[in-house]
Structure 1
Amino acid sequence: DHPLADTVANLPKRSGVYLMKDAKGTVIYVGKAKHLRNRVRSYFSGNDERHSVPYILKRVTNIEVIVTETEHAAFVLERDLITKYKPRYNIRLKDDKSYLHVRIDRQAAWPRLELVRRPMQDGADYYGPFTFSYELRTVLDLIRRVVPLRTCRDAVFHNRTRPCLEYQIKRCAGPCCLEVEREQYDKWLDQAVSILNGKTSGIQEELQSHMERASDELRFEDAGVYRDRLNILENFSTRQAFVSPGIENRDVFAFYREETLMVISVLRMRFGRIQESENFCLEDVEVPTEEVIESAVLQFYRTGREVPEDILLPLEIDGVDVLRDELKRLRDGGAVELHVPRRGAKFRLLGLAGVNAKEHFIAQFDREARYQKIAEAIARTCQLEQMPRRIECLDISNLQGSDIVGAVVSFYDGEPDKSRYRKYKISFQDKPDDFAAVEEVVRRKLKGSSGENLPDLLIIDGGKGQLDRALSAAHEVDSPIDIVALAKIRDSSGKKKGSGSRASASDLKVERIFLPGDSDPRTLDLNAESTRFLQRVRDEAHRYVIEFHRQSRSRRAHRSKLDDIPGIGPERRGRLLRKFGSIAALLKAPPEEVAKVGRMPKSLAEKVLSVLKK
């Protein structure tokens, strides 16, 4: 018998949610049930063929339940608890970010289209969410070329004294300074909303009519404006192929699965057109596909997405009635149809979504499989206990001891993660010491970092000396991190072979890598894919630190003696140099003039002149 047999036998015979916990008290699985005792008992019966059940039973040491009044309440609570605890064996769509919405405040004197992340209960109209920000910004650019609404913020709008460039290029009617009919402005707003909703045919007809009337009245410049706007709309419309007749709002769910890897693809259609496609990659999927789809559908809409009236599913779901009720609630009581098409246009749509899922699966997991082989090779070479998913590289740059800087680049699963790139201005200058610079950067990077923010492997661009100083810094801050050094090939003169040096084929047969505890470097085969990846990471670090070094030198070159005087900031410095042109000319001016130009006290002006004369 399982140690939890008595616990299971005493569970209530009611609907509710059960939480399975491991020895540490961590929730590893959350499930819902119409009959809690029967549902949980099925895990221990030996008849549950789900892949995840053996793994759960090995780890579960405690089961807690929450009784609910209805099955629907259990359904909702299950989703909330999954979001809260993120259990290992529950499926979660890895896409919890907040999406862009378009806000239009019709109560404003002259409304504009604003991009916001989270809708507020402020009386304004919100359109969205839009999951692809690039596509939304493209549509907004289209709207601004077709509909001349204001784009500036209120602070700018209320302080303008003449129309801006947007007015000059016909993208704004200029309500800030010019008389604009509010009725006409409201029509433009309605047109903008129609474009956001994918409805452009009525606007095209209206523009065509305006163009023809302007041409008949010999207003050829106005006719040209209408013609250009019409062409923009026509090009936008033809880029979106019709795949379903009539005016329909529909989402289509499909999947492609191989063992425990799975991709769910969602085609979103509005007014008969495919507006966008979203793909979600799932790993370690141990539950039946129908459970994944049921969970995915609910999570997809509970993040704030609009629920359409028609949803196509790739297979039948046992709890479809409960799912439909929850989607109706999210749709404020509006009807929602959930069905699995077997033939016709809807079946072809399902097939199209399935093709998208398979293509995304191949693109995503084939790339991951390639990187996994690279990571395995790196782990063997660097004697790591686990495959490195996050690899970072540190490089130092200086010019004869001046403007010494360091930089760290970060790669995750084989791809650059630029959000984790970091730049470091070295505390000491005017003495070229790469070893000390490496030690400082490693210390600053690791100090105070939690385990989850540490890379699996840190590469130092350098040799044994740099590696030893990096290890010393890591030991000083008590950071358990794997560090190696990757050394560039040296020619017979001892000079590093950098990107601008020439080397013979025999010179470039190997790269050298230094590991902790080894007195001599190990050689790497340049033809190995793992070596090429390490070189790629190092080259990116080199590019990044050189770019930072050039920026530092440029900033120093543009500094003047004024920058070192307390009380002289960028604004005062700019005024003085614009007026006098040079330090020499400034020194010839009396303190009163310097104070007036720099808008400063006379005492500070006298101090400026005194410092500059020294």
Structure 2
Amino acid sequence: MTEDLRLQHIKEQVSRFPELPGVYLMRDGNNEVIYIGKAKNLRNRVKTYFSGGDGRASIEFILRRVTEVDSIVTENEHHAFVLERDLITKYKPRYNIRLKDDKAYLNVRINTNAAWPRLELVRQVRDDGALYFGPYTFSYELRTVLDVIKKVVPLRTCTDNVFHNRTRPCLEYQIKRCCGPCCLEVDPDQYKEWLDQAIHILQGNVAPLEMELGRHMERASEELRFEDAAEYRDRIDILQNFKTRQDFVSTKGDARDVFALYREESFVTLSVLTVRYGRVAGSESYSFQNVQVGEEEILEQALWQYYEAGREIPPEIVLPLELKEEQFLREELEYQRGKKVELVVPKRGIKFRLLKLAELNAKQQFLTRFDAEARYSLVAQSLAKLFHLRQVPRRIECVDISNFQGSDIVGALVSFFDGRPLRSGYRRYRISQQGKPDDFSSVKEVVRRRLEKALESEDIPDLLVIDGGRGQLSKALEARDELGIAVEIVAMAKMRTEKGKAVYGSEASKPERVFLPGSVEPIVLQRGEEHTLFLQRVRDEAHNYVIDFHRKVRGRRVHKSVLDDIPGVGPERRKRLFQEFGSLQVMREASVEEIARAGRMPKSLAEKVLSCLGEPDEAMS
């Protein structure tokens, strides 16, 4: 791969990144991770590397070696901050040395096996049966929130050594920040209730504490203790900030894998989030195309293959849907692990949040792997083979006609290039022959006018699709042959109900038919195939475009008045006249002076207006 192609490939990857927080991983030609970074906006941040927006000296060395850039979407910037550190620890990338240190983030540990549990800050999460909450990168806010909790929930704060050697309550008890279980009789049930309150707050359920502080703030304000009220207000702000920065809660060091799918037609991506100690430790994604089986079968096969490769099987696996073979699959995973394995489909809570995050990553990987051009390439190859085209079509145009009982007959043409609408190629046509509905002649006129322009600009489509049947195709071929242009043309018949009315959209239950030149029988398109869905999309786009044009033409005719044909009376004067008089009938009854004044025109033009409008009694006859 040349240098230009390498950079172009990376820029195309980055252009499909979401404008969401997350982590990006840069890889070299050996697929080794050489740099990891975090971002509030993945697309904008990574773009700066290739636009000269990052002036660090090391960036030049990174850009020489990077060949691929992957991304992992996170819920917020804080999650990205934590995941960045974990991935750096895992991969030890060459250019992240400056980010490495031995200091871990803070976690809150609660030993529920203790007689009188307390909240303690630790930097290492261990598999010791305790509850862990974190990690928290914002230590000031964490310590402040714990201080606020102590003012509302009187749990003990001393170490075990101090607790077991006290003979009388300490100062914390005197200022009502501890219930004194070291020396005094305390109801264990009441203490457990206080502990549960503290746990709810750490889980992000700060509403009860916010309400309590709010009551204190209002009371202080009523008593004119404004400094105290301000302190309560600041504590409420800290609680709210703390809640928004909460990371996923780790309950007793739980480990789980989270599977999610994203699918469009026969293209699928699978995302697997690895969660260890309650936080996302990594993400893997897999892509599949031309998939003809359902999501359940995809998921079952993916689970088998994922863990057959020797990966660690966690005690819990989160899935997006129920599986028919769940029991058999669970038993096999338990046999491989040697311990119990749970397969869960969450509907709410932390596991549901993790599932949504995995789905977001699956969608992002889908957009990265299956860009529009790559997907369309397969569609175009199918069309070329199915319609016996001379070449794979890149530019496809579709013609449609619309009329109302033979009046306001119009045509329209839409253009697609590499599977995407080419707006500059859209055209609208007023049909020259009006009076009776004749779709055949109208199609011929539109095709002739389109191909005449193509002769001038050499802008010839690879495939022209006519919305209609064999008759419309025949007229389109006549126009082509009269001009001597070698353009491929087919006709696609709209699916019809029993009453013969056309039905638009991909939800039609009957198959679509395509008529080819020289073929007796039309080709029946299979529902759900990529090329069928694409042709329906093109046809529906042409239909909507021509209908919109027809409504505008018809609307202009309905609202057209005799004033439109009077020289010197433009849109602004017409607007003033209608604002003043409201209707043509009232204008006819006005004097020359009134018309001249309202329309801001000379009397000679006002006389001409009244002359064209006719006498009032004449208009009524």
Report the TM-score, using the length of structure 1 for normalisation.
Answer: 0.45
